[in-house]
Structure 1
């Protein structure tokens, strides 16, 4: 019997996306035979309700020195993290000598504003290339994975942290017990552990199935995070819905008894009971919706190609690895993917090997259709590429269902 990585309860398998590649491992065209694949299957704990992957990809395979994602690549995300930094500065980092630590600091998009405010800070990230970008902005970064030993070393050198922050990272870390022991070792008595992640409720309600890929080992809900925090001697005291990434939640965790939970926690727990996030039939419906989306998307792409239309992708996102490999979408259906991340350009997408090209080539000439893998940035991308629509081009989206705009 499979056991929960958080509480040890029984885990029931509910989704299987089959053989999948490492989503961040964009392939050098000269070396296409050395990819790592794994079975992407998901289950939920019948005790604490934590949704989790059943097979763990080694962290060194996912989060390498040359990890290609850069948080600053999106205008929307830059604004989001600027607002988040200001909120932390105004609420939690107000003492005489506050100290903030970020787990998964990437290119320093959040810590930049905290550093410019003169607040002591430290980013922790295993990607050396991303750390170099952050350091060029004057941000202090420790290049390694965050775990209990890291936290103790930071505490010994810098003292306790008033805020430990993380965005779209905690759900990536299978060894969650070491994370919480590290938070326990590093966090000041009245400090807070604040982390943002994609929200299971939105993923199920809107069939955002591509949010499930190797890095998202856990899919958090209010209920499962509350149970997880309690498992390690903490309490969930805040839960704020966020619009980014198609729906996320900012969780605030404190030491048990240190703070009173905000009323939003109880409100969102009640909403989750209405959604049935702890019931097997909810995941059965979700799986059926995913299969329908796969079939509809493939039928549309095949029809358009049979009619002689050129189709490309837009946004070589890591979540697109799930879509392309689960649905079997290769260069025969989608001839190229355009992406602004320099580190991805000139490479091939994981598994299905679609060429990645710079967005400057998108209109040379424009295709008839563009499959928008980066649907969570649809408004920003469509505004940037308005000439595509003006030239007669159409966008294909597959969430919450397959449609053309």
Structure 2
């Protein structure tokens, strides 16, 4: 574990405001054999930098411990696949990529996004350290550089593939501990006039929806636009466009270019105004947020314990990393939920990190004895999952939504 200076400004005045205890790594799903061995646990605390307002983890786990064997795949979500197709269409038109411009996707995962760019005429390259995901890129024919992206690897990438018209990072930017090295790498791989487009969970939406389960060890940063602008400006780049997105119940898409290579859109000021309105640059806002998280825990546990007392059978749906945080912080285990259903074959047959609830295929929801209520851990895909599980609901099954407040549907 490393406890260090602010990731953006290098200041030492980072105040802890939320302590979620000591938890297992959220995407390390143990097998039955693994359960007999000690499971590594690490402090999970979130802090606010008084110097620049950046919200970040106080202690950080080395990336190699989290990303070389990775069980999350983007293609497991229909919603995310549709989002990637729309993103590729928008950026191909905006940045003129259809004539074979190179797109590099950092944290490419199973290459779902790059396939959408390739189908529109772009050249593509994926960058990802996960050894177990390499087969996905091979199956799609997408070229892949296996490793972490930064100043030390950018030269090798440009030597082999050239400079990029566009670099993307969807749900990857919050994972980066060495931000200076990352931005230096961007400067090295971007062609003149090239753009970097990132998507990340947006701090305003995290606050507004009490989405504390977005916090886990992979996410070392929780991004607002203001500290993000400071980071890029310190390295000769600037945010030229900022867009709020509904995906994952609230993300920020930022377009970044070298200073002077693009015109700054008015959307940047619009998003900054929203941040001022929510007061995310004040530590008192985050102290209050922590109190709301404690209240939500009590509300959810009262609901679950009441249903159990009434003899209801309970299960969970979705085994995302965010679910690992929620289960551990709330103290929910196999004594409360009989199992968790998830569409990903990579997770089925394994157990949730820390809480050790068995993960099964969604078909189990319709088998006898069927659960009466299902805790929806992947609540950010509520609409998609409720549609997929229409038969379970038709038979009388109910879903419990735990965030931002308890709802039973």
Task: Give the structure-2-normalised TM-score.
Answer: 0.96
Pair 1:115 & 2:118 matched: yes
Deviates more, 1:192-201 or 1:220-229: 220-229
Match of 1:298 in 2: 301
Q: Could you tell me how far apart the structure 2 residues matched to 1:100 and 1:94 are?
A: 8
Task: Give the structure-1-normalised TM-score.
Answer: 0.97
Which string of whole-angstrom CA distances, capped at 9 and with x for unpartnered residues, describes residues 85-104 of structure 1? 11121121348652111101
Which string of whole-angstrom CA distances, capped at 9 and with x for unpartnered residues, describes residues 170-229 of structure 1? 111111111111001111121111110100000001101111111111000111211111
Describe the SS at the equivalent of 1:180: helix
Match of 2:54 in 1: 50
Q: Which runs of 5+ in 2 are unaligned?
A: none
Pair 1:197 & 2:200 matched: yes
Pair 1:266 & 2:275 matched: no
CA contact (8 A) 2:68 2:132 kept: no
Pair 1:281 & 2:298 matched: no
Describe the SS at the equivalent of 2:34: coil
Residue 383 of structure 2, aligned match among 379, 386, 394? 379
Pair 1:134 & 2:137 matched: yes
Q: Could you tell me how far apart the structure 1 residues matched to 2:312 and 2:396 are?
A: 12
Pair 1:231 & 2:234 matched: yes
CA contact (8 A) 1:115 1:138 kept: no
Pair 1:39 & 2:43 matched: yes
Which string of whole-angstrom CA distances, capped at 9 and with x for unpartnered residues, describes residues 334-393 of structure 1? 111000111111111000100001111111132110000010111111111112222121
Number of paired residues? 404
Q: Could you tell me how far apart the structure 2 residues matched to 1:13 and 1:231 are?
A: 25
Pair 1:404 & 2:377 matched: no
Indicate the RMSD between aligned Cα atoms, in angstroms. Answer: 1.4
Match of 2:5 in 1: 3
Summarize the alignment of residues 72-221 of structure 1 with structure 2, pairs less than 5 Å apart.
72-94=75-97, 97-221=100-224
CA contact (8 A) 2:99 2:121 kept: no
Q: Which runs of 5+ in 1 are unaligned?
A: none
Q: Could you tell me how far apart the structure 1 residues matched to 2:44 and 2:174 are?
A: 15
CA contact (8 A) 1:2 1:12 kept: no
Match of 2:257 in 1: 254
Which string of whole-angstrom CA distances, capped at 9 and with x for unpartnered residues, describes residues 7-47 of structure 1? 11221111110111100110111222232211100111112
Q: Could you tell me how far apart the structure 2 residues matched to 1:137 and 1:288 are?
A: 46
CA contact (8 A) 1:236 1:251 kept: yes
